[in-house]
């Protein structure tokens, strides 16, 4: 949540403290509890502090232990007991109550660049090593906390907030047409280091960056290693899962009161139940408040009722948050803080309002997001893995087991192959201008995307789980304060490296069918109605309901005839307000999303041309 920024002179000159202080001051919305800067000749760091509680150590950042190595960090370090034990074995005098940045500095002193392999949690940090005259940066395994960087003339600048970099006069705000093409074609960037600006790069998940006399080097520091599915008694597997969920959740409790976005499904209610079994909750020193999304003004649905049922069983309050208070893309006029990059968020203004409501009572909010992805598995890939290993008896048993449990023939990849062919046939949307498509090389990029497998694998050895949805940068971005402008820290207990590694070795049968592992773990903890309820989609698609009721905000439609007309043809963009619309709605919302973002971006202005 805290804001970080920094400048390093590449020519040996001195950092402009005025620019550094301006960048740091811009980050005050992220860190309302104090600003700090440090510079020494060719390097400077800035930090805007966000305190999770009044009991936090008073250490200010940028921080140093020895006057030579300095850090600016936006970090929550988990697994502190094990880390401190390892540090003490290396002769480092520290404790579990140490500041997160202090722990990182001790880890760097003990293991240098390898220290990141010892760090769990969500983090983005930068360390200036004065002895080596070197900058070293790293972010967490899933890129939950981002870090951006750019070459600015004879300077190297970085921040965990994209717009902060544009304050440096040497960073051009010229747009990257390949990024814009990716957004229109795919909804996100195909390159994990790309941003909407040509000059600005993003550090990919599980990566570190070194800037030294030898140049700038980025490398990945973490991969999930292949491993055979775990064997053991069912009770032991469920107990291990529950322990990991509770550990991951407890590590994220730092405040006297925490919020949770809680639907009536298994994922978020499991997180809420785990939080209430934490030592802080048992001691009565901590409170949990739940929030649930309500579309009741548009259509009847069961989610709020199930959320209230879970809340009563858990003994917590739950607040219904209306999700029907927007006209699609009214944020082009209403929002004081538009997204820093294009995003398909027609209800952005209402989303920001819900976050601000939560932030009035809590500084942190937990979610149950990505439980579905963790439990998702490609059975076709899994069975291929068994074939490659010569495990024919196991394959036969599992094919029969799957058929018996699901009452249908096992999937062997035919549906996926057909889906790929349908995707290939769809091609480039007709509303993308042909000249722009050629300039951005969209035909080639589409071909590469279609050749690529489902994404980067959790396990390249047998690959029956895909890491790609877990690394959906745009998903984490929209909750990040750099996007929302809201001083609220969002955490994802199910996106814990320990849990992801557990699921990577969890046998798909029976544990991943119908999320059996979640249901077994919740039995006796959550109400039976929630444990046994099937996966239930909303009866209506909220965005389509909003489009039918209100249409697109007039300024959004007008924006299509502005700068966006360089990239899309306004005359061909579908009028999605039609009640009988049956197209690919998220695809056809992209040109309007881009148009709104370009309009607001031009109004705010950048340093570029």
Q: 53-109 pLDDT, tens per residue?
A: 766 665 789 999 999 999 999 999 999 999 999 999 999 999 988 999 999 999 999
- The mean pLDDT value of the chain amounts to 89
Average pLDDT, stretch 564-572?
A: 96
pLDDT score for 412: 66
Confidence of residue 471 (pLDDT cuts 50, 70, 90): low
pLDDT in tens, 333-384: 988 899 999 999 999 999 999 999 999 999 999 999 988 888 887 777 778 8
Within this chain, do residues 214 and 242 fall inside the same structural domain, yes or no? no
pLDDT score for 400: 86
Domain end among 189, 220, 251: 220
Confidence of residue 555 (pLDDT cuts 50, 70, 90): very high
CATH number at residue 273: 3.40.50.620
pLDDT score for 459: 41
Structural domain contains residue 210: yes
Domain end among 220, 254, 284: 220
Structural domain contains residue 244: yes
pLDDT score for 317: 95
- Burial class, 338, CB count within 10 angstroms (exposed 0-12 / middle 13-18 / buried 19+): buried
Within this chain, do residues 263 and 343 fall inside the same structural domain, yes or no? yes
Angstrom CA distances, 109 to 91, 220, 316, 538, stand at 10, 20, 43, 51
Within this chain, do residues 558 and 580 fall inside the same structural domain, yes or no? yes
Q: Which of 131, 149, 56 is nearest to 100 (CA)?
A: 56
Within this chain, do residues 194 and 286 fall inside the same structural domain, yes or no? no
Percentage of the chain with pLDDT > 90?
70
138 DSSP β-pair partners: 125, 208
Within this chain, do residues 213 and 88 fall inside the same structural domain, yes or no? yes
- 3-state secondary structure at position 45: strand
Structural domain contains residue 429: no
Distance between CA atoms of residues 378 and 415, nearest Å = 11
Within this chain, do residues 251 and 348 fall inside the same structural domain, yes or no? yes
pLDDT in tens, 236-271: 999 999 999 999 999 999 888 999 999 999 999 999
* pTM for this predicted structure: 0.94
Domain end among 194, 220, 246: 220
Length of the chain equals: 609
Angstrom CA distances, 224 to 84, 230, 364, 507, stand at 24, 15, 29, 16
Within this chain, do residues 198 and 245 fall inside the same structural domain, yes or no? no
pLDDT score for 54: 63
pLDDT in tens, 180-207: 999 999 999 999 999 999 999 999 999 9
Range of the structural domain that residue 343 is part of: 234-374+470-532
Structural domain contains residue 11: yes
Within this chain, do residues 212 and 243 fall inside the same structural domain, yes or no? no
- 3-state secondary structure at position 335: coil
Within this chain, do residues 37 and 142 fall inside the same structural domain, yes or no? yes
Residue 463 in this model has a pLDDT that exceeds 70: no
Average pLDDT, stretch 560-568?
A: 96
Confidence of residue 605 (pLDDT cuts 50, 70, 90): low
Structural domain contains residue 454: no
pLDDT score for 408: 79
pLDDT score for 228: 72
Which residues touch 143 (CB under 8 Å, ≥6 apart)?
A: 192, 203, 204, 205, 206, 471, 473, 476
Average pLDDT, stretch 425-442?
A: 90
Confidence of residue 473 (pLDDT cuts 50, 70, 90): low
Structural domain contains residue 76: yes
Within this chain, do residues 70 and 41 fall inside the same structural domain, yes or no? yes
Within this chain, do residues 526 and 572 fall inside the same structural domain, yes or no? no
pLDDT in tens, 21-47: 999 999 999 999 999 999 999 999 999
Count of domains forming the chain:
3
Within this chain, do residues 239 and 216 fall inside the same structural domain, yes or no? no
Average pLDDT, stretch 572-598?
A: 83
CATH number at residue 117: 3.60.20.10
Relative orientation angle of helices 266-276 and 234-251, to the nearest 10 degrees: 70
Structural domain contains residue 389: no
pLDDT score for 507: 86
Structural domain contains residue 458: no
């Amino acid at each position: 949540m805290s804001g970080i920024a920094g400048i390093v002179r590449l020519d040996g000159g001195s950092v402009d403290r005025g620019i550094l202080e301006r960048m740091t001051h811009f980050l005050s919305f992220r860190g309302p509890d104090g600003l700090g800067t440090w510079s020494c000749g060719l390097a400077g760091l800035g930090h805007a502090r966000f305190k999770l509680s009044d009991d936090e150590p008073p250490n200010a950042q940028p921080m140093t232990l020895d006057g030579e190595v300095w850090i600016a960090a936006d970090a929550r370090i988990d697994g502190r007991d094990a880390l401190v034990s390892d540090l003490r074995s290396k002769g480092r005098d520290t404790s579990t109550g140490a500041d997160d940045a202090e722990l990182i500095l001790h880890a760097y002193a003990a293991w240098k660049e390898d220290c990141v392999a010892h760090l769990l949690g969500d983090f983005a940090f930068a360390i200036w090593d004065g002895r080596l005259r070197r900058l070293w940066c790293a972010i967490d395994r899933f890129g939950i906390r981002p870090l951006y960087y750019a070459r600015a003339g004879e300077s190297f600048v970085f921040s965990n907030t994209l717009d902060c970099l544009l304050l440096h006069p040497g960073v051009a705000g010229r747009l990257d047409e390949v990024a814009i093409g990716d957004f229109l074609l795919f909804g996100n960037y195909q390159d994990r280091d790309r941003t909407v600006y040509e000059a600005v790069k993003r550090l990919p998940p599980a990566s570190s960056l070194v800037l030294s006399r030898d140049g700038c080097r980025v490398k990945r520091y973490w991969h999930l290693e292949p491993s055979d599915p775990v064997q053991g008694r069912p009770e032991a597997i469920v107990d291990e899962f529950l322990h990991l969920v509770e550990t991951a959740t407890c590590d994220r409790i730092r405040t006297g009161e925490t919020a949770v976005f809680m639907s009536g499904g298994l994922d978020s209610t499991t997180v809420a139940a785990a939080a209430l079994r934490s030592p802080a909750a048992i001691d009565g020193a901590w409170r949990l408040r739940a929030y649930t999304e309500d579309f009741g003004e548009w259509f009847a649905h069961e989610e709020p009722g199930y959320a209230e049922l879970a809340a009563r069983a858990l003994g917590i309050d739950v607040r219904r948050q209306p999700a029907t208070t927007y006209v699609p893309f009214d944020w082009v006029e209403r929002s004081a803080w538009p997204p820093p990059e294009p995003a398909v968020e027609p209800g952005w203004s209402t989303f920001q309002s819900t976050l601000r409501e939560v932030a009035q009572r809590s500084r942190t909010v937990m979610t149950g997001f990505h439980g579905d992805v963790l439990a998702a598995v490609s059975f076709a890939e899994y069975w291929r893995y068994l074939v490659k290993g010569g495990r024919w008896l196991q394959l036969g048993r599992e094919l029969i087991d799957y058929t018996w449990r699901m009452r249908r023939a096992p999937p062997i990849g035919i549906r996926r192959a057909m889906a790929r062919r349908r995707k290939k046939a769809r091609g480039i949307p007709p509303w993308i201008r042909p000249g722009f498509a050629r300039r951005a090389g969209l035909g080639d990029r589409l071909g590469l995307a279609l050749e690529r497998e489902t994404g980067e694998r959790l396990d390249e050895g047998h690959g029956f789980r895909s890491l790609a949805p877990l690394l959906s940068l745009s998903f984490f971005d929209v909750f990040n304060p750099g996007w929302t402008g809201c001083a609220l820290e969002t955490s994802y207990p199910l996106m814990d490296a320990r849990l992801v590694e557990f699921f990577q070795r969890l046998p798909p049968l029976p544990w991943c069918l119908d999320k059996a592992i979640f249901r077994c773990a919740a039995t006796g903890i959550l109400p039976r109605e929630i444990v046994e309820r099937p996966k239930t989609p909303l009866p209506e698609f909220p965005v389509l309901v909003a489009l039918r009721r209100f249409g697109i905000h007039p300024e959004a439609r007008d924006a299509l005839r502005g700068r966006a007309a360089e990239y899309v043809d306004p005359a061909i963009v579908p009028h999605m307000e039609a009640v009988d619309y049956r197209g690919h709605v998220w695809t056809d919302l992209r040109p309007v999303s881009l148009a709104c973002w370009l309009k607001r971006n031009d109004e705010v202005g950048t340093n570029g041309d």
